[in-house]
Structure formats: structure tokens, C-alpha cells
Structure 1
Amino acid sequence: MDVRPQSAVLIATLVVVNFIWWMVMIAAIGVGATHLSQCPVQPNIPIYLIVLGATSIISLSFTYNIRANKESAINIVSSACMTILHIFNFAWLIAGTCWVYNIYPPNYTGTDLYCHKITYQFAFVVTTLMWVTMTFLFICGCCFGLLTCCTTMVVRRHLIPTRNSFYGATSDLGEQAAGDV
């Protein structure tokens, strides 16, 4: 088992982000369940919030289970379930985006024709924040990949042998020529 020390700032950040995510998803379930029949213009929005919250909480539970059981068959089952949940959550986010953004801008004056204000605003904010977060993570991942490729190319250039060096030498040609004199 690989036990690496982690910084206190990283651990504290992860705890705070996890706590906030749990609270938002519990609130999504609560808001969706409370106002289940109060969105006649798009009755799927409260259902979207309930399912999004429930599947996110279950996915987080699988994540904690994977971290606790690193060397067991439960880890494989949890990983498979978590992967399926992530794919479902992404598809559900796309469906929820269509439902939430299709009735934008909302009109709250006619309560019988439009969505409950808190329900719609909560769904709108959560959906928008999820897309912003995924875009930010995608950009960071691309930058990390580009940085890794550039670093690999620079290191590779220093490891390619020349006719004046042996394979795997890391010194430059100029240093070797100075050493030969």
C-alpha cells in the first residue's frame, strides 16, 4: 500500500470542497422534492434536481469506498459503479441543461404557467456552475497535458545520443568537447 504524505492545505481544501458539494446536493434533493409539482412549464426540473443530487451523493460514497478499500474486490465493483454513475450524471446534466435553459428567461408572475422561482434559480445556478467547473477542469487538463508533452520533448532531446556520446548521456555536446581537450 502506497502511503504518501499530503499537505495540510490540500487535505483541508478537499474536505471543504466535499462538504460544500454534499450540502449543495442535499439541497438539490430538498428543493426538488419540496417543489415537485410547482413547475408546470417544465415538470422535469424538480426531477432533474432530485436525481442529480441522489446520484452525486451515491457517486461520492463510492469514491470514499474506493479510497478505503484499495486492495479488494469491492474496489473493482465500486469503480465500475462509479464510472457508470459518472457517465449517467454527464448525460443527466446535458438533459437538465436543455430543460433549464429552454425556459430562460423565466417569468415568475404567473405561478400556474411557470416554474417556482427558487426551484428554477437553484437549478440554473447549479447547472451553470457544473458547466463552468467542467470547462475549468478541461482547460487545466489540457494545459497539464501540453506541459507534460513539452517537458518530455525537452528531456528526450537531452537523452538522444550523438556520435560523441554514449547512449543515455545527459550532458551537452559542448561539455563533452571541453572535457576531451
Structure 2
Amino acid sequence: MPGGLEKACHQCISTIASNACFVCALFAFLALPLSMAFTGMKFLEDCPIQPLIPLYLLVGGIIGTLKVSLLLYDSTRMRRLLSKAVVIDDDDDDEYPWRRNVHKYYLHLILSLFLFLWFILGNYWVFSVYLPDFIPPFQHPQGYCDKTLYLFAVGVLALSHTVLALLILGSACVYVCSRGRFAADED
């Protein structure tokens, strides 16, 4: 049955990824990593209390932009294939055409893993100096962080936590529903 589950997951992901709304959502989502990279670059020297915060935004923005761009490329390519009526059929010799491009999926996996670890590091860097001075203190001029930079980083992390929680909740719902359906099919 694992092969059937693998094929069902592939068809589900193919359907979602080829949806025009998904492509539009990816284009809209592209604004976040681009703004992260821009903000990190603009304020690179403006947070001496924790100089890794602008670096977190810059590197996360660049890698995030790469990840979303690859997802956009894959989605538009899949839409093009589906518009040409290239459909995976049960009679196909290769039921899992994604296996031919396994290097691309490893790239997505590596980028996702890097972004997750970078997210954890960003949490540490940003919240280790929670609410720093936003104006350089006279007696300690290195103990501040630009207000725009810091609040943007906190906002990015809050948004990331929200999306991560929704993904976990959605995955749990799909798992529970599929287990219920699988149990009903066995009876």
C-alpha cells in the first residue's frame, strides 16, 4: 500500500501545484523574501547589539527567493504539461515521473532544511536581544538596533510562526481524515 499512498500524494501535490491560484499565491509570497533581502541589505550596519539580525534577513531573503522561484518554475512547468494533456495514467510504465528529476527534489529538500535551520537561528538572534534600545545610548553607542530593522525581523518571525502552525495543523487534519477514510475503506 505504500506505493498507492505515494501515488496519491504525488497526484494531490500535482493538482495543488498546477492550480492557477497557487501560482498567484507564490508570486504574492515572493514579496516576503525579497523584502527580507532588501531590508537586511539596507540595514546591514544598523544593529551593532546583534549584527546577525540583518544577516539573518539578507541570507534568508536570498535563499527564500531562490526557493520560491524554483517552486514557481516547477508550478508553471506543471501547468504547461497539464495544458498539453500530459496526464499520469495508471497504465504508464513510469508512474512517478518526478523520480526522473530527483536531483531537483533534493535541492528543494536541502533549501527547505536550510531555511528551517536559519529560521531557528533567526529566532535565537532576534529574541536574545528582545526590545533593544532603538536609539544609540550616549554611554554605550554599540548597544542599539534600528527600530525598522528589528520590528521587521520580529514581524517576519511572527508570520513564519503563524504559517508553520497552520501547516502543522493542516497536515494533522489531512492525516486524521486520511486515516479515517483508510479505516473505512478496509471495513
**TM-score when normalising by structure 2:** 0.71
Provide, for residues 36-62 of structure 1, a one-character-per-residue CA deviation record: whole Å limited to 9, x for no partner.
011011000000001111111111222
Q: Secondary structure at the match of 1:53?
A: helix
Which residue is equivalent to 2:136?
A: 110
Aligned Cα RMSD in Å? 2.6
Which residue is equivalent to 2:66?
A: 58
**Consecutive unaligned residues in structure 2, runs of 5 or more:** 1-10, 82-96
Q: Secondary structure at the match of 1:109?
A: coil
Q: Secondary structure at the match of 1:108?
A: coil
Aligned residues: 151
Aligned ranges 1:72-91 → 2 under 5 Å? 75-91=101-117
State the percentage of identical aligned residues.
25
Q: Secondary structure at the match of 2:135?
A: coil
Q: Are 1:41 and 2:67 an aligned pair?
A: no
Cα gap change, 1:74 to 1:63, in 2 (>3 Å): farther
**Consecutive unaligned residues in structure 1, runs of 5 or more:** 158-181
Structure number with higher relative contact order (C-alpha < 8 Å, ≥ 6 residues apart): 2
TM-superposed CA distance for 1:34, in Å, is: 0.8
User: Partner amino acid for 2:34?
Assistant: I
Provide, for residues 124-181 of structure 1, a one-character-per-residue CA deviation record: whole Å limited to 9, x for no partner.
1011111110111101101110111112212222xxxxxxxxxxxxxxxxxxxxxxxx
**TM-score when normalising by structure 1:** 0.74
TM-superposed CA distance for 1:33, in Å, is: 0.5
